[in-house]
Structure 1
Amino acid sequence: MQDPTDRASEPTSVPITRLDFDIEWPPKHAAAYLIETPAPILVDTGDPADRAAETIRDELAAKGYELSDVEAVVVTHPHSDHIGQVPLLRESGATVYAPAPVLERLERDADELAAGVREIGRSAGYQGEAIEHEAERACESLERNRRLLDPDAAVGFGFDESVTVAGLEFDPIHTPGHQIHHASLAATVDGQRVLFSGDGLIDSFRPGALHVGIDYGAYEAVDAFHEGMDRLEEHSFDRVFPGHGPVFTDARGAIERMRTELESLTGETLEAVVTVGPATPMEITRNRIGEIRHPAQLLDTLGALGTLTRRGRVDYTTRDGVRSYSVLKAA
Structure 2
Amino acid sequence: MEDPTERGPEAAPTRVTRLDFDIEWPPKHAAAYLLEEPALTLIDTGDPEAPAEATIREELAAKGYDPTDVEAVIVTHPHSDHIGQVPLLREAGATVYAPRPVLEQLEREPADLAAGVRQIGRSAGYHGEAIDREVERATSSLERNRRLLAPEETVPFEFGEPFVVAGREFEAVHTPGHQIHHASLVTDLNGERALFSGDALIEPFRPGAIHVGLDFGAYEAVDAFHAAMDRLEGRVVDRVLPGHGPVFTEYERAIDTTRSSLEELTGETFEAVAAVGPATPIEITRNRTGEVRHPAQLLDTLGALGTLEARDRIEYEDRDGVRYYSVRKASP
Q: Considering the TM-score relative to the shorter chain, is it more than 0.5?
A: yes
Aligned counterparts, 1:37-76, within 5 A: 37-76=37-76
Is the Cα–Cα contact under 8 Å of residues 38 and 168 in structure 2 kept in the other structure? no
Task: Please give the alpha-carbon distance, in whole angstroms, between the structure 1 residues aligned to 2:200 and 2:147.
Answer: 23
Q: For residues 186 and 209 of structure 1, do their structure 2 counterparts lie closer, same or farther at Cα, with a shift above 3 Å needed?
A: same
Which residue of structure 2 aligns with residue 114 of structure 1?
114
List per-residue Cα deviations over 1:249-304 (Å, max 9, x = no partner).
Answer: 01100000000000000000000000000100010001001111121110000000
Superposed displacement of residue 10, structure 1 = 5.4
Task: Please give the alpha-carbon distance, in whole angstroms, between the structure 1 residues aligned to 2:317 and 2:239.
Answer: 46
Aligned counterparts, 1:110-259, within 5 A: 110-259=110-259
Unaligned runs of 5+ in 1: none
Task: Please give the alpha-carbon distance, in whole angstroms, between the structure 1 residues aligned to 2:172 and 2:7.
Answer: 28
Which residue of structure 2 aligns with residue 321 of structure 1?
321
Superposed displacement of residue 61, structure 1 = 1.1
AA at the equivalent of 2:126? Y
Task: Please give the alpha-carbon distance, in whole angstroms, between the structure 1 residues aligned to 2:239 and 2:251.
Answer: 7
Which residue of structure 2 aligns with residue 100 of structure 1?
100
* Partner secondary structure for residue 325 of structure 2: strand
* Partner secondary structure for residue 12 of structure 2: coil
Query: Pairwise CA RMSD of aligned residues?
Result: 1.3
Task: Please give the alpha-carbon distance, in whole angstroms, between the structure 2 residues aligned to 1:160 and 1:27.
Answer: 29
Task: Please give the alpha-carbon distance, in whole angstroms, between the structure 1 residues aligned to 2:8 and 2:286.
Answer: 54
Q: What TM-score results when the alignment is normalised by the length of structure 1?
A: 0.97
List per-residue Cα deviations over 1:58-97 (Å, max 9, x = no partner).
Answer: 0011122111111100000000000000000000110000
Which residue of structure 2 aligns with residue 270 of structure 1?
270
Superposed displacement of residue 160, structure 1 = 2.6
Superposed displacement of residue 38, structure 1 = 3.0
Superposed displacement of residue 114, structure 1 = 0.2
Which of structure 1's runs of 4+ aligned residues deviate more than 3 A?
A: 1-4, 6-11
* Partner secondary structure for residue 26 of structure 1: coil
Unaligned runs of 5+ in 2: none
Superposed displacement of residue 204, structure 1 = 0.8
Superposed displacement of residue 11, structure 1 = 5.2
Bigger Cα displacement from structure 2, 91-100 vs 57-66: 57-66
Which residue of structure 2 aligns with residue 25 of structure 1?
25
* Partner secondary structure for residue 98 of structure 2: strand
Query: What is the number of equivalent residue pairs in this alignment?
Result: 330
Task: Please give the alpha-carbon distance, in whole angstroms, between the structure 2 residues aligned to 1:251 and 1:154.
Answer: 31
Which residue of structure 2 aligns with residue 311 of structure 1?
311
* Partner secondary structure for residue 25 of structure 2: coil
Q: Percent identity?
A: 69
Q: What TM-score results when the alignment is normalised by the length of structure 2?
A: 0.97
Which residue of structure 2 aligns with residue 281 of structure 1?
281
List per-residue Cα deviations over 1:175-206 (Å, max 9, x = no partner).
Answer: 00000000000001122100000001000111
